[in-house]
Amino acid sequence: MLRRAFLSRLSAAAPLLGVSSPQSPAALAPPAAPARHQQDDWLDQAPDKHRVVFDTWLADKFSGAFGFALNWIKVNKEQYGLTDADLAVVIVARHGTTPFAFSEAMWTKYGKIFADHMATGDKVANPNPSVNRYAARLTENSKQCLRLAVCNVTLRAYVDIISKQTGVAPDEVRSELTSNLIANAHVVPAGIVTVTRAQERGYMLVSIG
């Protein structure tokens, strides 16, 4: 009994004496990490020194997101001495901004259909465009460290709309649209999912609208 009492008092005093008690296997286990999925591996085919993802979903807000993305790249290069090999930029084009991921040729052909269905914050003050005024600059910057994540949910919706309005088979419409994406664009299962998956892989989020 004296031995048990002594050991009990010693255990209670251990923290005061700087003696650590053995931890349980559960306490020693590393924190659970997010699950990895093959559909998201393209996010890691990019530098990991500095990563940022811009979430966009309203057509009249896309200019702000694109502008901030370019500023982010410019300042990192000019003020920090970094290069494209150090930077990873993803702009998620979902909901109202998905059509901006298509080439000027697709806008020439389907621009009115795109504009009629693009979600916007204020379509009266900022009417949706009938041309992709970002196509050339997105193409140019895609040669550097910028990539587009194109929402497949919205893509499917446009395929259905265009097919019904033109009489062309959905598979043909989809093939045409995906063959005419801005260079370096990647079709993802859903834009909103990619926003979260990117953060799980070390991308800092900038949400523009």
Residue 128 binned pLDDT confidence (cut-offs 50, 70, 90): confident
Least confident range of 25-29, 117-121, 140-144, 145-149: 25-29
Residue 6 has a pLDDT of 44
Give dist(CA 82, CA 31) in Å, integer: 32
Half-sphere exposure of 75 (CA within 13 A, CB side): 7
Residues of the chain above pLDDT 90, percent: 78
State pTM to two decimals.
0.85
Half-sphere exposure of 143 (CA within 13 A, CB side): 5
Sorted by where each starts, the structural domains of the chain and their CATH numbers stand as: 42-207 (3.40.1260.10)
CB 50 within 8 A of CB 206: no
